[in-house]
Amino acid sequence: MITVDRLTKKYGDKTAVSDLSFQINPGKVTGFLGPNGAGKSTTMRMIVGLDEPTDGRALVAGKRYAQLKHPLREVGALLDARAGHPGRSAYHHLLGMARSNGIPASRVSEVLDTVGLGEVAKKRIGSFSLGMGQRLGIAGALLGDPKVLLFDEPVNGLDPDGVRWVRELMRQLAAEGRTVFVSSHLMSEMQETADHVIVIGRGKVIADAPIEEVIASSSLNAVRVRTPQPDVLRRELLQLGMTVERSAGDAPDELMVVGGTLEEIGDLAFQHRVPVHELSLRKASLEQAYMELTAASVEYGTPSLSHVPDTHVTRATDHQEA
């Protein structure tokens, strides 16, 4: 378990993390999301004792990281895939870590095989690609067989097969009852991996909830209705306080309804004898929910593509799925 209690970190006049409080529980994958500069990496560094909090505290199993006698046996972390000395081999890099924490040398070969680096164990890590460096960092996190694991952007540099492998590994570790805390900018991958997400912006918590709850909070969740009598159904839906939009262009018989369930809309159509040719749920993605949550917290915004000259952009209609 990881407990963050009113954690604050300031660098001069800049506040990187402001009064953060949350708890990461075992048995699930918890995603850590936020724009660049939101304070994710700073928070993780404070959890493992690399940065000293200005105020508050971060605990692992009820203790500060500095109080852990053999930290690698209790906490594994991948925060920087390029952290190893480039002149050392993968094997000796991990062997030094193992000896510092009383971990048997045999464990080094085990974790190298686990991450797929067994055949390059004697190669110098300075020659490794970014993806190989990520695998070595994951091996280091697993070295002490810890109950708590932190991964900062673990899929950077990995090919699709490697990304899938990391996803399966995270879920396996959580299924074993471990605490798994993962930051990432890949929303589609996080949607496939995480059970719970914590979203921060400008150093503050914006959301802390199960992933399905976060997605359900998006205003882009809607019910798509196709009917030859859209005006009649629209009038009745509006009277019940639902938000109803007419589709433009090629689908004049389509309505997008926010604030009602499939059952409510279907029953209403039946009561008023309105034929329905389609009734389906358009569910928002984690990326769409995340963009709504963090819209006011982006530190380094980019202009809309619609304002970029000489760029050909195919735009979806208001009611097409992005």
Q: Which CATH superfamily is domain 2-210 in?
A: P-loop containing nucleotide triphosphate hydrolases (3.40.50.300)
Residue 318: per-residue pLDDT: 38
What are the structural domain ranges in the chain?
2-210, 222-282
pLDDT at residue 56 is higher than 90: yes
Q: Is 270 helix (H, G, I), strand (E, B) or coil?
A: helix
Cross-strand pairs, 182: 31, 151
Dist CA 317 CA 287 (whole Å):
19
| Residue that the structure tokens 């009561």 belong to | 271
pLDDT, tens digit, 9 for 90 and up, residues 74-102: 999 999 878 888 999 999 999 999 999 99
Tokens for 180?
A: 């798994």
Q: Bigger pLDDT: 27 or 157?
A: 27
Q: Bigger pLDDT: 189 or 301?
A: 189
Residue 317: per-residue pLDDT: 34
Mean pLDDT for all residues in the chain: 88
pLDDT, tens digit, 9 for 90 and up, residues 172-226: 999 999 999 999 988 989 999 999 999 998 889 999 999 999 998 888 888 999 9
Q: Is 60 helix (H, G, I), strand (E, B) or coil?
A: strand
Nearest of 162, 92, 82, 97 to residue 124 by alpha carbon: 92
Residue 199: per-residue pLDDT: 94
pLDDT, tens digit, 9 for 90 and up, residues 246-286: 876 567 899 999 888 999 999 999 999 999 999 998 888 89
pLDDT at residue 312 is higher than 50: no
C-beta atoms surrounding 151 within 10 Å? 26
The strands making up 55-60's β-sheet, listed across from edge to edge, are 14-24, 2-11, 55-60
pLDDT at residue 305 is higher than 50: no
Residue 221: per-residue pLDDT: 85
For every residue of 160-208, DSSP letters joined together read HHHHHHHHHHHHHHHHTT-EEEEE-S-HHHHHHH-SEEEEEETTEEEEE
pLDDT at residue 229 is higher than 70: yes
Classify residue 317 by its DSSP letter. P
Q: Give the pLDDT band (50/70/90) at residue 298.
A: low
Residue 249: per-residue pLDDT: 59
Q: Bigger pLDDT: 57 or 300?
A: 57
Residue 74: per-residue pLDDT: 94
Percent of the chain at pLDDT above 70?
Answer: 91
pLDDT, tens digit, 9 for 90 and up, residues 113-132: 999 999 999 999 999 998 99
pLDDT at residue 52 is higher than 60: yes
* Residue 20 φ then ψ, to 5°: -80, 135
Second CATH level (architecture) for the domain 222-282: 2-Layer Sandwich (3.30)
Q: Give the pLDDT band (50/70/90) at residue 310.
A: very low
